[in-house]
Structure 1
Amino acid sequence: MKQESDGIIRVGIGGWTYEPWQGTFYPEGHPRKRELEYASRQLTSIETNSTYYGAQKPESFAKWYEQTPDTLVFSVKAPRYVTHRKELAGAGEKIERFLTGGLAELKHKLGPINWQLMPGKAFEAADVEAFLKLLPRKVDGLALRHAIEARHVSFQTPEFIALARRHGIAVVIGADSEHPFIADTTAPFIYVRLMGTRQGEPLGYPARSLEQWARRAKAWSKGAAPEDLPRLAPDLPGTGKRDVYMYVIGGHKVANPLAAKSLITRISP
């Protein structure tokens, strides 16, 4: 999965609790309380959902850490009480509350934090930059990686790319959805959300699409920019290897674990 000169590619799904996954992803009758334990050994990363809907107790983060192998990394969706606001610049107190609320209990298993903006939030350069400045590099001595998921078409501008690069924040590449598709590299890592699985495809996506995303992930991990993706701004100069976080989210959700596992197979040497 990793060569010395490449970044690490991690692939997973959103959350681990979904009724139709019983018998399709989880073995029939698998205990609900052990779903995370099982999912974390089939995938290489998981993006949390529960953190988006409300605060979690430090004990919950500690439990997730204990139930998963050392190789797993969690990407954490920031709570909507932080990001779903008209003025992002005023979110400082709530950002601090979230980041100091037990997140560090994940220790080395903490991956990027996804700050997903509300769909109606339009791009305002001053407000967005003020928000990016509020995102700290560390919490309790633990290094943080931040990604911002813009869901309004006005973010499709080189000015947004420049801001994200200035602060080392990854722009989430949200593919196959109604939201804007922005594929520019803006940070030392890549964050991709694939949202187009569909019913009738045994693996959620056609094989050619899975192969395509696997090739893109490998290119990013080597520090390259896939040539088949549109960009709003010139490529960053060579910055060496990058870690890649890729999640199969939404769409025909029952197929998402199968798509993620298929990507892992295609990416592994």
Structure 2
Amino acid sequence: MGEIRIGTSGWLYPPWRGAFYPEGLVQRRELAYLAEQFDTVEINGSFYALQKPASYQKWAGQTPDDFVFAVKGSRFITHMKRLRDGDTLLSNFLASGVLALGPKLGPFLWQLPPNFGFDPAVLADFFGRLPRSTAEAAKIAAQHDDRVDPAYLTPDADRPLRHALEIRHPSFDTPEFPALLREFGIALVIADTAGKYPALEEITTDFTYIRLHGHEELYVSGYTDEGLDMWAGKIRDWAQHGDVYAYFDNDAKVMAPRDARALKDRLAR
């Protein structure tokens, strides 16, 4: 039976204040409060811009010893370079401080744009360049350029790294795709996107990564009791094959922490 972790996609949302976060809680305490409720969270800011080592160190310091961060990969790699010619960008991303999370560094999430179709050659090349341990990540990070200052290049220990891929183009609905993921040991992100993007449910490596964006309306709608029961059942089944990470991204109306709590409660029964 694998370990099951339930959390949210990000934590800095003004509408959560007074709804999920207690009135009067200062912003710098919000992550610590969230980490009292859940045991994992996705870092989203890393998708939009390189973060600083001091930020990753601060986040690690605000959370319990057994907390885990999933880190979203840079959009400059996935959306702008579209996985091509991105060696320096990958080095910069890995040098920006992710290794400062130490034992709290969980899976990397790589999200492709909706207009990125299935291209096995490009994907295989990208998968082959991804580090599979913190020692490998440090070697790649050492090739960073001057856009990263300061850099964080020294992991506290050599640990395995995990990677998950989220797709949004219908051309990925082919048997070749999960076969490629299995070949490289990459998890397919199982995503609920209100029917907008493909809903593929294949277990392709030793862990499962789930993103729940909303079942009726993307990023907005909450999950019904029946819907949460369904996901709890699926997660119990997937946990038979390894660890499970599930993140709610329906944050627009403060649904994410509510639904994460409800799903966590179901799985604790």
- Fold shared per TM-score above 0.5: yes
Report the Cα distance in structure 2 between the residues aligned to 1:79 and 1:244, rounded to whole angstroms: 23
Contact 1:197 1:253 in 2 (8 A): no
Instruction: Point out where structure 1 has 5 or more consecutive residues left out of the alignment.
Output: 1-5, 224-241
Q: Secondary structure of the equivalent of 2:36?
A: coil
TM-score, normalised relative to structure 1: 0.86
Match of 1:255 in 2: 255
> Structure 1 counterpart of 2:79, which letter?
H
Q: Among 201, 210, 213, which residue is 1:192 paired with?
A: 210
Match of 2:138 in 1: none
Report the Cα distance in structure 2 between the residues aligned to 1:152 and 1:46, rounded to whole angstroms: 26
Instruction: Point out where structure 2 has 5 or more consecutive residues left out of the alignment.
Output: 136-157
Q: Among 135, 149, 157, which residue is 2:130 paired with?
A: 135
Instruction: Show structure 1 runs of 4+ deviating over 6 A.
Output: none
Structure 2 matches for 1:31-110, cutoff 5 A? 31-85=26-80, 87-110=82-105
Match of 2:115 in 1: 120
Contact 1:198 1:251 in 2 (8 A): no
The CA deviation string for residues 33-83 of structure 1, in whole angstroms up to 9 with x for no partner, is 110010111112101111111001111111010000112111110110111
> Structure 2 counterpart of 1:212, which letter?
M
Report the Cα distance in structure 1 between the residues aligned to 2:238 and 2:95, rounded to whole angstroms: 31
Report the Cα distance in structure 2 between the residues aligned to 1:64 and 1:253, rounded to whole angstroms: 25
Q: Among 187, 191, 209, which residue is 1:170 paired with?
A: 187
Contact 2:248 2:257 in 1 (8 A): yes
- If each structure's helix is expressed as a fraction of its own residues, which one has the higher value? 2
Q: Secondary structure of the equivalent of 1:11?
A: strand
Q: Among 170, 175, 183, which residue is 1:153 paired with?
A: 170
- Displacement, 1:255? 1.2
Match of 2:222 in 1: 204
**Backbone CA RMSD of aligned residues:** 1.6
- Displacement, 1:84? 0.9
Report the Cα distance in structure 2 between the residues aligned to 1:68 and 1:58, rounded to whole angstroms: 16
- Identity over aligned pairs, percent: 43
Match of 2:142 in 1: none
Task: Number of aligned residue pairs: give it.
Answer: 243
> Structure 1 counterpart of 2:206, which letter?
P
- Displacement, 1:104? 1.0
Q: Secondary structure of the equivalent of 2:84?
A: helix
Structure 2 matches for 1:206-245, cutoff 5 A? 206-223=224-241, 242-245=242-245
Contact 2:222 2:250 in 1 (8 A): no
Residue 128 to residue 121, structure 1, CA distance change in 2 (3 Å)? same
